[in-house]
Amino acid sequence: MNILSFFGKRDESASVAKNRLQILLAHERADDGSDALLISSLREDILAVVAKRVDIDPDSVRLEMDRTGDVTTLGIDIELPAARAS
């Protein structure tokens, strides 16, 4: 959500709601489970690459998606063991 639009136009929360629903429903109507599959596959690939160099816990690799109107971003968060990270 956009904090500026929230505080700037307090009386227009309905338009924020409409916008959020449009993005969400467009995505849900088209959803065929491919996002989850993509994330799973990417996660495994990334895990394999990182594991070649660093000894990591498989749970410490997090992939996050964020969908906006036209763009979907992918965030990768890898927690390195303390000894390696320093």
Task: Provide the binding-site residues for other proteins, judged by CB under 8 A.
Answer: 1, 6, 10, 13-14, 16-17, 20, 23-24, 27-28, 31, 33, 35-36, 39-40, 43, 59, 62-68
Give whichever of 53 and 58 is closer to other proteins, judged by the CB atom: 58
CA–CA separation, 34 and 29 (whole Å): 13
Q: If residue 5 lies in a helix (H) or strand (E), which one and from where to where?
A: helix 3-8
Q: 66 phi and psi, to 5 degrees?
A: -140, 115
Give whichever of 18 and 84 is closer to other proteins, judged by the CB atom: 18
Q: What letter would DSSP give residue 28?
A: H
Give whichever of 47 and 54 is closer to other proteins, judged by the CB atom: 47
